[in-house]
Amino acid sequence: MFVKALIASLLVAFVCVQIADSLVCYTCTTPNDCKSPKKVTCTNAAANETSHNLEVYHQGVRNLTSTRFDCLALKYTWNNNVINQIHGCIHPNVGACSLSLKPAYGHYNKTHCLTCSGNKCNKNPAGKMSSSTLTIAASVLGLLLVKIFA
Ligand SMILES: *[C@@H]1O[C@H](CO)[C@@H](O)[C@H](O)[C@H]1NC(C)=O
Ligand SMILES: *[C@@H]1O[C@H](CO)[C@@H](O)[C@H](O)[C@H]1NC(C)=O
Ligand SMILES: *[C@@H]1O[C@H](CO)[C@@H](O)[C@H](O)[C@H]1NC(C)=O
């Protein structure tokens, strides 16, 4: 029993470390850029950068400091052209997908917006999202725990 409990807590610790460990997101700021997005490890600096990019088009982007981050994938079209695309690390509390556009950009259509947790979950091209690492990790852990304790 003791050994089982030990194994279980090691597993939990392992998964938690994986989650708490640095999140990696794809990052790019223009449609052209987003054809070959770079990867970035999420930090407050990286998330601040995304906030600044969002601030160009949106009102009410808050200045925040976070201890955990999400990835963002955002796409605007107008007349069937991709006008703007922002991928990157985001402060979860910015609420990136519910921000309203500045009046000057009100005619843009937000065709895609997603925030997710899990490494590289904001995969380019936008629209094709795999389930996040977090979900997979959680189900694997669940299965293992069931196996150990059954
Ligand atoms: C991010 O922005 C917040 C709010 O403006 C600021 O307090 C913090 O120092 C910034 N962090 C970095 C690493 O630039
Ligand atoms: C956030 O910080 C930037 C630069 O530091 C500043 O221009 C902006 O007004 C601040 N926004 C808010 C909502 O405090
Ligand atoms: C934006 O989307 C709406 C509905 O989806 C559509 O009717 C409209 O034509 C679009 N506007 C532009 C400028 O693409």
Task: Say which ligand is closest to the CA of 78.
Answer: 3
6 belongs to a structural domain: no
Residue 120 is part of a domain; what is its CATH number?
2.10.60
pLDDT for residue 128: 42
Residue range 129-150: mean pLDDT, rounded:
62
| The predicted structure's pLDDT at residue 147 | 80
Give the integer Cα–Cα distance in Å for 84 and 76. Answer: 5
CA of 109 to the centre of ligand 3 (A): 6
CA distances from 149 to 8, 139, 143 (A): 9, 15, 10
Residue 125 has pLDDT above 90, yes or no: no
Whether 81 is covered by a domain: the verdict is: yes
Q: How many whole angstroms from 139 Cα to the centroid of ligand 2?
A: 40
> Does residue 134 sit within a domain?
no
In-domain check, residue 3 = no
The tokens describing 11, both together, are: 């597993």
- Does pTM surpass 0.75? no
Q: What is the pLDDT of residues 22-57, one digit of tens each?
A: 899 999 999 888 888 999 999 999 999 999 999 999
Overall domain count for the chain? 1
Instruction: Name the residue range of residue 42's domain.
Output: 23-128
pLDDT at 115 over 60: yes
Q: Is residue 17 part of a domain?
A: no
Least confident of 37-46, 78-87, 117-126: 117-126
49 lies in a domain? yes
Q: Is the pLDDT of residue 133 over 90?
A: no
> Which residue's CA is minimally distant from atom 13 of ligand 2?
62
Task: Specify the ligand 2 atom closest to the Cα of 63.
Answer: 1
